[in-house]
Amino acid sequence: MRLGRFRTGEAEGWGFVSGDAIQPVTGGPDLMEVLGDRAALAGLAEGAGDGIPLGEVDLLAPIPDPPQFVGIGLNYRAHAAESGAPIPAAPISFPFFNSSIIGPDDPILLPPFTDEVDWEVELGVVIGREARDVAVGEALDYVAGYVIVNDVSARDIQKSEVQWSRAKSFDAFKPMGPWITTVDELGAADDLDVELWVNGQLKQSGTTSDLIFDIPTLVSHMSQSLTLGVGAVISTGTPSGVGFARTPPEFLASGDVVTLEIEGIGRMTNPVEAS
């Protein structure tokens, strides 16, 4: 099941993505109220309206205001190596600010005070049930599904500050989409291809089987320290192939187009513009 938010003209809503169309849920609960309720979702899917072609809607970030939006750093061995960092002994977590979230096709904005804006394709885990002190073996019961996140990062700022949150949370630095693919389709998402292209050139190609800390471990780990709310998103880190680690380094420029794809979820594209 694929759960998406969309806008048509003035109206916004959510619905079930099927093939190249989205079937809107009209007059029902908001997506956040039923995110982890598989029976409710199944009932709403049966009563959903006729599909609107995806070409006739603007898709929006499926979780525009998560109760927590957590980044995980250096969670693929090859990315830790290209970053010159040791393999972490425990997950490295940090918050993103929600004001940075944009949807598919929205422009990534380059502020004038950074010249080193970089890309990071990541699998985002969406929490469906309030999760506190959850065991690894039960963690998937608390997952609603998965989204694609681009952890856009201003490297010059990131390197100049101890905390990474600001450098990764500028306005329009967190494309999220194109929809949530539910956990019943992807399970622990432990063997999915994760790829990113800039202007059609493949830059990142990894697999979630290379995660240092897998999804159940990350959900359990975070839930030991804080209560993850319904709609919380944990972005699980990026594979190798980011711009700053390339020779010579590469960064995003106005006019670029970034495309992300994760097997079993789909594809998301965002243009890049000067702000």
Binding footprint of Zn ion on the chain (CB under 5 A)? 120, 151, 238
* Smallest separation, CB 153 to Zn ion (Å): 7
202/119 Cα distance (integer angstroms): 12
* Smallest separation, CB 143 to Zn ion (Å): 19
CA 91 to chain centre: 17
**Closest to Zn ion by CB, 38 or 77:** 77
Residue nearest Zn ion, Cβ-based: 151
**Closest to Zn ion by CB, 130 or 244:** 244
* Smallest separation, CB 179 to Zn ion (Å): 21
C-alpha torsion 183→189→192→198, nearest 10 = 80
Q: Return all residues near 138 (Cβ < 8 A) that are at least 6 apart.
A: none
* Smallest separation, CB 35 to Zn ion (Å): 23
82/266 Cα distance (integer angstroms): 27
CA 209 to chain centre: 17
138/103 Cα distance (integer angstroms): 31
> In this structure, are residues 144 and 35 in contact, taking their beta carbons and an 8 Å threshold?
yes
* Smallest separation, CB 186 to Zn ion (Å): 20
**Closest to Zn ion by CB, 238 or 240:** 238
**Closest to Zn ion by CB, 158 or 223:** 158
Containing 220, the helix (H) or strand (E) segment is: helix 215-225
> In this structure, are residues 197 and 128 in contact, taking their beta carbons and an 8 Å threshold?
no
**Closest to Zn ion by CB, 121 or 180:** 121
* Smallest separation, CB 71 to Zn ion (Å): 5
β-sheet bridge partners, residue 205: 195
82/100 Cα distance (integer angstroms): 26
**Closest to Zn ion by CB, 31 or 80:** 80
98/231 Cα distance (integer angstroms): 12
Query: From the DSSP assignment, how many helices (H) and strands (E) are in the chain?
Result: 6, 19
76/210 Cα distance (integer angstroms): 6
* Smallest separation, CB 235 to Zn ion (Å): 6
**Closest to Zn ion by CB, 120 or 256:** 120
